[in-house]
Amino acid sequence: MSWYRNTVWFVKGLREYTRSGYESASKHFNSADTEVNVAGRSFLVTGANSGIGKATAIEIARRGGTVHLVCRNKERAEVAKGDIVTETGNQNIFLHIVDISNPKEIWTFAEKFKNEYKLNVLINNAGCMVNTRELTEEGLEKNFATNTLGTYILTTALLPLLEKEADARVITVSSGGMLVQKLNLSDLQSGNGPFDGTMVYAQNKRQQVVMTEQWAKAHRNIHFSVMHPGWADTPAVRSAMPDFYQKMKNSLRTEAQGADTVVWLAISPEATKLPSGLFFQDRQPVPTHLPLASTHSPPEDEKKLMEMLEEFSQKFKSTSPG
C-alpha cells in the first residue's frame, strides 16, 4: 500500500505541484484577494531568510505589514532583512535569531516577544529535511525537533498574544508528501528501523496537519490553516533533495509561486470565510488523504499526539530561563 501511495502522490505531483500546475490554477485566482493594505498588522515568519519564507515576507512587507523575521543564521538573516527593506521600502522589518530546533530557545524568545510586541498572524514556515538521523543538543531527532515540536511550541507559546487580536491567523507550511504518511505515534523520533529522511519529513508534515486541525477545534477565534506550496525551486529543496532537484528543476515553481497561497492565507479576507483547520493548495482547500490510501487515524490518536507534544514542550519550558 505504501508503494501505491507514493506512486499516486508522485503522479499527482507531476500534474499539480509543478510550475505548470500553478499557472493553470492561477488563471482562476482573484487578484483583488491579495490587493490588501495590511499596515498596522503584525506578521511573524519563521525561516524567513530564503525560499518561501523570504518570498512571503517580501509580499507582506510590500503591502505595509510589520514583519518579524525569525531566522537561525544571523549573517544570512541580516542580508535577507536588507533585501526586503530595499525591495519594498518598508522599514518595519524586525529580526530575531532563534533556532526552531531548540525548544528552550523558542520558549525564551516567545516569552520576550509577548512582552514587547503584538501579533496578528503567525506563519510557521521553518523546516528541515535531514537525511541521516541527527540529534540536537537537547537529544531530539532534528527533523522532529524543527518541523513538529518547534512548530508546536512556538504556536502554543504565542497563542495568548494572538487571542488578543481581531482576525488572528496561524498558517503552517506543510507538504504534499504528508499524503503518503499515516500518523505514527509509536516512533515520533524515528529511532526504530532504517532512517529515511524523506519519509520522516513526510511524517512530520502529517503531524503538522493534525496539529492544525486540533488547534482549530480548541481555539475558535483564531483562523488556522496548513498548506502545500507545491514543488518550488528553493535552497532547501536543492540541498535536501539533490536528485529530485536535478530531475525536476525545469518544472519547479518559483519561490514567489510557492509562497502565493501562504500570502493569500495570511492577508486575504476571502481566506477566513472558509472554515478553520483546512489544508490548502493554490488557494483552495484540498483533501488531506489520497483515495484508498488508508492514512486516516482514529480521533484518539490525534488527541494523543497533542498530549505527547505538550508533555515534550513543558519539559523544556520548565528548564528555560525566565
- What is Dmax (Cα atoms) for the chain? 52
Q: How confident is the model at residue 12 (pLDDT cuts 50, 70, 90)?
A: low
Q: How confident is the model at residue 96 (pLDDT cuts 50, 70, 90)?
A: very high
Would you say residue 321 lies in a domain? no
Would you say residue 322 lies in a domain? no
Q: How far apart are CA 130 and CA 150, in angstroms?
A: 15
Would the pLDDT of 243 be above 80?
Answer: no
Would the pLDDT of 274 be above 70?
Answer: yes
What is the Cα gyration radius of the chain?
18
Q: How far apart are CA 301 and CA 299, in angstroms?
A: 5
**3-state SS, one letter per residue, for 142-186:** HHHHHHHHHHHHHHHHHHHHHHCCCCEEEEEECCHHHHHCCCCCC
The x, y and z cell numbers of residue 162, run together, are: 494572538
Catalytic residue among 17, 22, 201, 245: 201
Would you say residue 268 lies in a domain? yes
Would the pLDDT of 7 be above 90?
Answer: no
Would you say residue 75 lies in a domain? yes
Would you say residue 320 lies in a domain? no
Q: How far apart are CA 216 and CA 183, in angstroms?
A: 18
Would you say residue 69 lies in a domain? yes
Q: Confirm whether pTM is higher than 0.85.
A: yes
Would you say residue 162 lies in a domain? yes
Instruction: List the CATH number of the domain containing 18.
Output: 3.40.50.720
Would the pLDDT of 232 be above 90?
Answer: no
- Domain range for 113 is 3-315
pLDDT per residue as tens digits for the range 244-271: 657 777 778 999 999 999 999 999 999 9
Active site residue 201: yes
Average pLDDT, stretch 180-186? 95
Average pLDDT, the chain: 92
Give the chain's domain count.
1
Would you say residue 120 lies in a domain? yes
